[in-house]
Amino acid sequence: MKAVRLHAKWDPRSGFKLGPKDVEGKLTWLGSKVWRYPEIKVEEVPEPKIEKPTEIIIKVRACGICGSDVHMAQTDEEGYILYPGLTGFPVTLGHEFSGVVVEAGPEAINRRTNKRFEIGEPVCAEEMLWCGHCRPCAEGFPNHCENLNELGFNVDGAFAEYIKVDAKYAWSLKELEGKYEGDKLFLAGSLVEPTSVAYNAVIVRGGGIRPGDNVVILGGGPIGLAAVAILKHAGAANVILSEPSEPRRNLGKELGADYVIDPTKEDFVEAVLDYTGGMGAKLFLEATGVPQIVWPQIEEVIWRSRGINSTVVIVARADAKIPLTGEVFQVRRAQIFGSQGHSGHGTFPRVISLMASGMDMTKIISKVVSLEEIPEYIKKLQTDKSLVKVTMLNE
């Protein structure tokens, strides 16, 4: 079968030392410190086969390009990839996917029925392959699994015709049937994973909001836009999106943003204070990936606003220092949370139910392409901010 594969050279930066979970020449938890000269190719690879009784084979129908796919293929001036996290190359990219079960092991249990998966079940899946037995997993924090593997990062992903996953990572999309017809069901299903990243950030890690609270989303990429939709559904009085791209600001309005800010032309701080009557926001989501630029502005809003108890959630991955002023958070009784991943705490089923109830995230899909076009669009997304989500659709 055909698959989109990323190759890169293992060439650690000067002074880099392998961590306890790194594997020389194969795997690291600090990708931007090790991998150099990435290259994406469409290649022929063997079709996956069931090896364990709990596994399923999924015929991939849709798979979206994530910012992490872009950053694994994008480099700095020295040729090192920009993505800072867990990586092991070569690997088949793609982790935001949905499809149909075409084969199921005898112990592959469907949570929807508590019985073995039936052939033809529409599904999506988590990309974080948590072990379930380490200390973080046992305490209910699978996103921080000590034995983590990730689809499309160090385990073959879904820019392919078929993918194999353990059934414990799969979630049925039956609830979307009748609400989304034909290909749109699978396009929606491919957005469950990135929408769950946003849900985990603003609801699980950030603690959610009370209806009537104000929120500010910095960054109108797929995660930021999903957060706009989720928080408006959660009852936010004012959802404010800061994003320099006009197409992305317009999508934010479609998904529920009450106000949008172009930070390249407007004073972010004055705009937020104005839109909130000087009260500021209960929750800020940092989804830009450039915290060194936006953090001083967040702090100034917190400092100058009349409200207290703000929460700032960091969801964008960035190898950059945050210029934090502790005094601001002490005096204004504010707090910071880091957010990674999407698993646990019922994120996937709740996001699927939100989609079934009318939260249509397919609005963020800018273009549908073929598998062969994925390398071209991974490169294009490095600079073209008029595109939000580019999604592969297989017949």
Residues 225 and 179 in one domain: no
Residues 174 and 304 in one domain: no
Residues 125 and 201 in one domain: no
Check whether 234 has a pLDDT greater than 90.
Answer: yes
Residues 323 and 374 in one domain: no
CATH number at residue 47: 3.90.180.10
Find the mean pLDDT for residues 60-73. 96
Alpha-carbon distance values, 13 to 17, 35, 80, 145, 267 (Å): 9, 9, 9, 26, 39
Q: Which helix (H) or strand (E) holds 226?
A: helix 222-233
Tokens 């800072």 sit at which residue? 84
For residue 99, is it within any domain?
yes
d(CA 149, CA 169): 12
- Give the pLDDT score at 390: 97
Residues 245 and 144 in one domain: no
User: What letter would DSSP give residue 202?
Assistant: I
Helix (H, G, I), strand (E, B) or coil at 298: helix
Q: Write the pLDDT tens digit of every residue in 243-269.
A: 999 999 999 999 999 999 999 999 999
Q: Which of 7, 14, 32, 68 is catalytic?
A: 68
Bridge partners (DSSP) listed for residue 5: 41, 92
- Give the pLDDT score at 319: 76
- Give the pLDDT score at 395: 85
Bridge partners (DSSP) listed for residue 312: 284, 336
Residues 148 and 277 in one domain: no
Distance of CA 78 to the CA centre of its chain: 27
For residue 254, is it within any domain?
yes
For residue 310, is it within any domain?
yes
Mean pLDDT rounded to a whole number for the chain: 96
| Residue partners of 114: CB distance under 8 A and separation at least 6 | none
CATH number at residue 259: 3.40.50.720
Q: Two tokens at 276?
A: 């909130």
d(CA 340, CA 343): 9
Residues 183 and 37 in one domain: yes
For residue 348, is it within any domain?
no
CA dihedral 285, 290, 294, 299 (to 10 degrees): 70
Q: Which of 32, 71, 196, 339 is catalytic?
A: 71
- Give the pLDDT score at 318: 82
For residue 228, is it within any domain?
yes
Q: Tell me: cis bond preceding 90? Omega within 30 of 0 counts.
A: yes
Residues 140 and 264 in one domain: no
For residue 271, is it within any domain?
yes
Residues 175 and 215 in one domain: no
Is residue 68 annotated as a catalytic residue, yes or no? yes
For residue 235, is it within any domain?
yes
Residues 119 and 177 in one domain: yes
Residues 381 and 254 in one domain: no
Q: How many domains does the chain have?
A: 2
Domain housing 80 = 2-190+360-393
Q: Two tokens at 323?
A: 């210029």
Residues 180 and 216 in one domain: no
For residue 264, is it within any domain?
yes
Is residue 7 annotated as a catalytic residue, yes or no? no
| Residue partners of 284: CB distance under 8 A and separation at least 6 | 215, 216, 217, 218, 298, 301, 302, 310, 311, 312, 313
Q: Two tokens at 210?
A: 């009370």
Check whether 317 has a pLDDT greater than 90.
Answer: no
Check whether 72 has a pLDDT greater than 80.
Answer: yes
